[in-house]
Amino acid sequence: TAGTAAGRFATSGSSRGRVSADTVETYLRRQMQQRQIPGMQVAVVQHGKIVLLGAYGMANLQDSLPVTANTVFPIFSITKAFTGVATMQLVEAGKLDLAAPVSQYLDGLPQAWRMVTIRQLLTHASGLPNILDNETGGLIAAGEDAAWAKVQAMPMEFAPGEKFSYCQTNYLLIGRIIDKLSGEPFMQFITEKQLHAVGMPLTRFGDGHAVIPHGIRDYSLARGFSGDSQSLAGTTICSSNSRRSC
């Protein structure tokens, strides 16, 4: 637990800049109360070592189940970090060029999409329309096939490279490129080349319908009321903050 790290956590190597684990924990608990966060896990890595590892609050409010080191949290769009690593693994293998247009790797795309580069997809500078509704967070049409058909018929939001705009369509295409160039499904490629490679046995793929052992109950705060929220359709990575996966 975080208490075992007390006195070892510091913001710098000098005693003047040292901050105790107790001070950090006090700050975290205050933020949880102010932001109405039911529970969380925290890991602080300094100079390659875990100096603070803590589990706070509740994983399930209804049953008063506490967050532990083995509690599994969905990380949602942080999955994009793993997708980025997978992309660069393909670059290192000589299979992918970041400066190349997406049409070099995927067929049948709308004409306006074809010259968007892989780098522009990764950095959300593509100008592609979003397959998710910006207000609801859900797909723009009922079902993945219908949403895919609809987004392809939508106009570009801006010229590629003109500006930044967070867009799920970008990483949908990156996922399809990974499928094609790696020769194996996206989830299998990331599981084998990243999760297994670095020893993260408690990290796995799941979605809003998956039953994940030790998984948290998902909550949201809207209009002043806290209640269950529905996870977005799609695939995300679920990760536990256990020492075994650090």
What is the structure's pLDDT at 24? 87
Over residues 132-149, the pLDDT tens digits come to: 998 888 999 999 999 999
| E-state strands within the chain | 39-46, 49-60, 65-66, 72-74, 204-206, 219-222, 225-228, 236-240
User: Across the 246 residues of the chain, what is the mean pLDDT of every consecutive 10-residue run?
Assistant: 38 54 88 94 90 93 93 90 97 98 98 98 98 91 95 98 97 96 95 95 80 84 47 44 34
What is the structure's pLDDT at 13? 47
What is the structure's pLDDT at 92? 98
Of 75, 109, 23, 19, nearest in space to 235 by CA: 75
81: enclosing H helix or E strand: helix 79-92
Over residues 111-121, the pLDDT tens digits come to: 999 999 999 99
Of 12, 2, 6, nearest in space to 46 by CA: 12
What is the structure's pLDDT at 237? 54
What is the structure's pLDDT at 177? 97
Provide the token pair at 112: 């306006």
